Chain A
């Protein structure tokens, strides 16, 4: 089938599309990392060898493997080969604790565990499933010996739209990681969504965050499915990113806000030729308005902000380059995405009211692995019984249908009966010239139930005293919003994809100040 015909189907698979690109232009570069590369024909052949090896080892469609390793071509090849065999992949954060990794491996029912030397060393001695060393190090069976021989052909598998593609363990800003099961239909819908961003064989996309992040995978699979050249980065740093972007004439890149922040703050930013860029995408964490404006002003090409969750549901997209007047929003629901606002009792609210965001689309998780109760808690059904995924975020749609996000519902502070949204306080703090970053969270208060407290990172050479800064902010805040405490910290604890870990701050400071926290 031709690529256009494949893409016109209601359902297809990433693996089929990569095969089609290999037939169309075998020598076109598919993956590139640190000077090593694979063209589409080589990638396609490697995927066959992985799929055949999985079948030789008795894995069937629906079985699960896990990968926990730094980004490498082997990592990408194993993931894609598993997809070809219909085997679901659980990509696990390599810096998880050994206990955490063991728990996720056990929960997902993994049959083979692909690791690199660092993860293998850290988890040596933990009971486990067979391990394959992606880097041929001694921590598992070497990948080179595990792969089926060159030229091996896997048995073809027929996959249904609801067949599992991957299990993503949530980054855990709010507690124990949950395994989010995504079907092939989820990724297929993303491939279709990305056709609108100009991804195609002439695109060069720079992937600079680890491959276990859903944020990465959401652009990685569509990019390869649409025949683009994917430049991988083992570890992000702003200078290295800019060098790679310039050298490879990057056209697309999907990143998290902290990466944009570090790149825009890079002293030599304006010396790089970034004219090849067509579209940058961003998501997964709040994107400060001033930063969006800075990207629009100084970085060629468009900027699209996405708002959505790993669990799926609804996605909002903000083409910031088209609507610079809407930078305070996260955009409008993507085509075909149905998003609503509900109250605490699960009643749908009229447009414009503040409530929890729920969404429904082609990109929806099947559920949390082994957690039917948690899955049920994440679902909402409308009057017609259609399934929506709850976001846990509060917000409202403005008069033009753009979503204004207020906060994580779990992060919302209820002070004396008033809802206090940390983002509002963080915005005030960030407007102080000495403040670089700010995080506001609730701490127990005998009088108000909860009160807001702030941790801030000051700019270099800042002079403001913590108490003075707190008074300065409180003068600009509402009564219920006033900060009871403010601490200056060296840095904010962040997850790998840049989300501030407020739970850690609450644990670190909540108890210290009030003695009754936790």
Chain B
């Protein structure tokens, strides 16, 4: 059982970062209840495919009804943490902003997920992942020389800078509750998180070791021949990161370049030409052939795998990096724990027509649920 077993979390259904944070907590064993709107099907499709919603149950509440609001209030009174991702002010207008919630449950950790943050001139504006990371220098910095910025999926804003920081913030605040007995608001903004993820680049920049021109830095993958992605004979790709001298020597040995007339590894002037030479060499064999020569060596090498290939790779299989739940392969909970091992994820429970089961885990007796239903807490009778 995961390390967060016994922690109870209420999650307002949302998109991407909020559910991702809730998934991380549920993966670690927290008991999470997702609150949906009556009639909302989130997300569409079979529940076994709703991987971000895994390992938790759901209840549909009509927050336009007094009984629905009272139900949510009672849930928050019994919760350790709360996750909401509405625009600033929405929860306040429901009468469920941090102040009344923390007054009723002083230990509550009130987690708020937004792009811009709870304050600042842009706080009320709409936006999505690339808008937020555009504001942090992250989007500008990723891509090739002379080309427009490359969009790194929504990994940097929604998931890395957003959901992950919210989950981290919630766990930090939960630890602090043990000392102080007091909850607090966690304001997780994707702008803050993405900027935080850029700390190393800002540090290098301040030290004069980082060019603000896209594609001029080694980590861009577009400059040093020993750090980047190369196409292979079969139109696939391999990744090479032979930065240290001993690893670079291994790259030269296996590519057959060792002993020849070669420029110094750090001679920038020679890089463009040498890069072309390496590209030609990598194009001479298929990806699988390079794997046979380099995989597991000290070149610092890995084949660039598709999603399907990643799930089948022997290393990932050996470690159980992906697990199968109801026939759907998916990333396993991460990271790993030596003692309190997280359980295999379970299918998300859709908000059932009868919420009695899900609400009983939050202390609601069946007759109390029946009364709330009669008052319209769960929407009109379906």
Contacts and interface: CB of A to CB of B under 8 A. Distances in A.
A314 B27 CA distance: 50
A507 to B, nearest CB: 22
Interface in B41-59: 55-57
A141 B363 contact: yes
A56 interface: yes
Contact of A131 (B1, B343, B361): B361
A114 to B, nearest CB: 11
B361 A124 contact: yes
B357 A125 contact: no
Of listed B347, B349, B361, B369, residue having the most chain A CB within 10 A: B361
A146 B32 CA distance: 23
Of listed B55, B343, B347, residue having the most chain A CB within 10 A: B343
Nearest to B354: A130
Interface string A110-138: 00100000001110111111111100001
B349 A141 contact: no
B365 interface: yes
A98 interface: yes
A139 B1 contact: no
Interface in B215-259: none
Contact of A125 (B57, B365, B368): B57
Interface string A141-174: 1100110000000000000000000000000000
B360 A131 contact: yes
Contact of B55 (A53, A125, A131, A139): A125
A131 B365 CA distance: 8
Nearest to A126: B346
Given A121-B1, A132-B365, A127 B346 contact: yes
B213 to A, nearest CB: 49
Contacts of B363: 133, 138, 140-142, 145
B365 A145 contact: yes
B5 A57 contact: no
B346 A125 contact: yes
Nearest to A139: B361
B360 A122 contact: no
B373 interface: no
A126 B349 CA distance: 9
Interface string B351-378: 0000011011111111111000000000
Contact of B78 (A120, A128, A131, A138): A138
Contacts of B6: 121
A56 B346 contact: no
B8 interface: yes
B5 A121 contact: yes
A98 B78 CA distance: 24
A146 B365 contact: yes
A130 B56 contact: no
Nearest to A59: B366
Contact of B367 (A56, A125, A131, A139): A56
A141 B26 contact: no
B371 to A, nearest CB: 11
Contacts of A112: 366
Given A121-B6, A141-B360, A127 B367 contact: no
Given A125-B57, A126-B346, A140 B78 contact: no
A130 B31 CA distance: 15
Nearest to B78: A138
Interface string B329-349: 000000000000001001101
B360 to A, nearest CB: 4
Contacts of B368: 141, 145
A130 B370 CA distance: 12
B81 to A, nearest CB: 14
B357 A129 contact: yes
Interface string B78-91: 10000000000000
Given A112-B366, A126-B346, A140 B5 contact: no
A509 to B, nearest CB: 26
Nearest to A130: B360
Q: Which 9 pairs, one residue from A and one from B, show the smallest C-beta to C-beta distance?
A: A130-B360, A141-B365, A146-B365, A124-B31, A131-B360, A130-B356, A57-B366, A141-B360, A130-B357
19 contacts: A53-B367, A56-B367, A98-B343, A112-B366, A120-B361, A121-B1, A121-B5, A124-B31, A125-B56, A130-B360, A131-B361, A132-B360, A140-B363, A141-B363, A141-B365, A141-B366, A142-B365, A145-B368, A146-B365
Given A56-B367, A125-B26, A125-B32, 4 more contacts: A125-B346, A127-B57, A127-B357, A131-B361
